[in-house]
């Protein structure tokens, strides 16, 4: 079909693009094992910066915060997002289209706009609570989790809907014909069938929550810094071997998630597309 010559050029081009993808990551991982205080002056291999990372209380606290937020926001958004997908894909109701549009907005909206939205919203709510009830509350892990849920619901819903749309409704009808009530039909037929979609959505939510910098940095308070926000703050001040080590750990974590998702999605053949930065 394609001539040999064209094929060779395409192959070569692909190698170059893959090199472009992986060389920067490889250099970063390699340099994280450098013993020297200066990032680019190689003096010998060591795990010094990984040790230092494990002794750094701020890093450990940030990792803990990230994991709490990711777990909470993934759990809540998977439940709400899956329910929303079912409601939109399996039922016809008034106001369905409006909800459909609202559900797409958090995916389209730029991170920066959403960050601004959440900050102004929480400031208003805090002001109101203080005025009406007295207690002073501030930004923290709760506001971060609430914001992450707000964008994750949509991503989960999109992934689960893609799965639902490809499903044969006859299977659910067959369950109904065999006198399964709605709850049973859902638990024993629908849920197992959409499970790859639900898990795919959960992994996407987890990744997005663990990656987010902009929105989190707007709605986090003192003591509630997540790992990406902490690293971002360090990076703005300059390059250090400690950041290289933390970065490598973050890369390994995301690669583990890719492999987990590949295992779950096997046989499904589809990867959820579309994510925010």
Partner 1 sequence: MATRTGVTPELEAAAERAQARRGLLVSLPAYVYLVVFFAIPLVIVFVVSVFGRRNPRGATVYGAPSLDAYRKIFEPGPDGSYLVLEIVWRSLWLSVLTTVICLLLAYPLAYYIGTRSPRVRNVLLVLVMIPFWSNFLVRTYAWRVLLGRSGPVTAVTSALGLTDTPMIFTVNAVLIGLVYGFLPFMVLPLYAAIERMDWSLVEAARDLYASGWQAFRKVTWPLSRPGVIAGSILVFIPAFGAYVTPEILGGSKTTLLGSYIVRQFLQARDAPFGSALSFVLMSVMLGATIVYFRTGGKTL
Quick one: which of 59, 213, 242, 245 contacts partner 1 (CB under 8 A)? Answer: 213
Assign 3-class secondary structure to 139-162.
Answer: CCHHHHHHHHHHHHHHHHHHHHHH
Q: Does residue 129 bind partner 1 (CB under 8 A)?
A: no
Candidates 44, 55, 57, 94: give the one binding partner 1 (CB under 8 A): 94
List of residues 6+ apart from 201 with CB closer than 8 A: 78, 81, 82, 155, 156, 157, 158, 159, 160, 272
Task: Give the span between the Cα atoms of 146 and 212, in whole angstroms.
Answer: 13
Residue 244 interacts with partner 1 (CB under 8 A): yes or no: yes
Q: Is 96 near partner 1 (CB under 8 A)?
A: yes
Query: Which positions from 165 through 204 interact with partner 1, judged by CB under 8 A?
Result: none
CA separation for the pair 140, 123 (Å, rounded): 12
Site string for partner 1, 19-38 (x = CB under 8 A): -xxx-xx-xx--x------x
For position 63 contacting partner 1 by CB under 8 A, the verdict is: no
The stretch among 44-52, 53-61, 65-73, 145-153 that binds partner 1 (CB under 8 A) is: 145-153
Q: At what angle do helices 241-265 and 4-31 cross, to 10 degrees?
A: 130
Tell the smallest beta-carbon distance from residue 274 to partner 1 (Å): 5
Looking at 18-26, 55-63, 134-142, 193-201, which segment touches partner 1 (CB under 8 A)?
18-26
Shortest Cβ 226–partner 1 spacing (Å): 11
Q: What whole-number distance in Å separates Cα of residue 68 and Cα of residue 76? A: 12
Token pair 């037929």 is at which residue?
Answer: 189
If binding is defined by CB under 8 A, does position 258 make contact with partner 1? yes
The window from 43-51, 56-64, 187-195, 209-217 that contacts partner 1 (CB under 8 A) reads: 209-217
Considering the rule CB under 8 A, would residue 121 count as an interface residue with partner 1? yes
| Range 214-233, binding partner 1 (CB under 8 A) | 214, 218, 228, 231-232
C-beta separation of 67 from 206 below 8 A:
no
Gap between the Cα atoms of 147 and 144, Å rounded: 5
Q: Would you say 60 or 165 has its CB closer to partner 1?
A: 165
Beta strands in the chain (DSSP E): none
Check binding of 59 to partner 1 (CB under 8 A).
no
Strand ranges in 78-216 using DSSP code E only, listed in sequence order: none
């Amino acid at each position: 079909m394609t001539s040999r010559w064209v094929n060779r050029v395409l192959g070569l081009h692909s190698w170059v693009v893959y090199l472009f993808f992986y060389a920067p990551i490889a250099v970063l991982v390699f340099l994280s094992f450098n013993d020297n205080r200066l990032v680019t002056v190689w003096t010998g291999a060591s795990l010094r910066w990984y040790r230092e990372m494990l002794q750094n209380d701020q890093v450990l606290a940030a990792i803990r915060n990230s994991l709490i937020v990711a777990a909470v926001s993934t759990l809540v958004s998977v439940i709400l997002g899956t329910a929303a997908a079912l409601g939109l894909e399996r039922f016809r109701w008034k106001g369905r289209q409006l909800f459909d549009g609202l559900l797409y907005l958090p995916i389209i909206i730029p991170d920066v706009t959403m960050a601004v939205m959440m900050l102004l919203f929480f400031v208003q709510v805090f002001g109101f609570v203080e005025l009406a009830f007295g207690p002073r509350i501030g930004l923290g892990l709760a506001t971060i989790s609430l914001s992450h849920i707000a964008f994750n619901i949509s991503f989960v819903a999109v992934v689960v809907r893609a799965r639902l749309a490809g499903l044969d409704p006859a299977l659910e009808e067959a369950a109904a014909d065999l006198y399964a009530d709605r709850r049973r039909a859902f638990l024993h037929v629908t849920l197992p069938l959409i499970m790859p979609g639900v898990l795919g959505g959960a992994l996407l939510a987890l990744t997005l929550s663990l990656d987010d910098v902009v929105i989190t940095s707007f709605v986090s308070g003192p003591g509630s810094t997540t790992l990406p926000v902490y690293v971002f703050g360090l990076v703005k001040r300059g390059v250090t071997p400690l950041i290289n080590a933390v970065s490598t750990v973050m890369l390994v974590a995301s690669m583990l998630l890719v492999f987990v998702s590949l295992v779950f999605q096997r046989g499904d053949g589809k990867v959820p597309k579309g994510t925010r930065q």
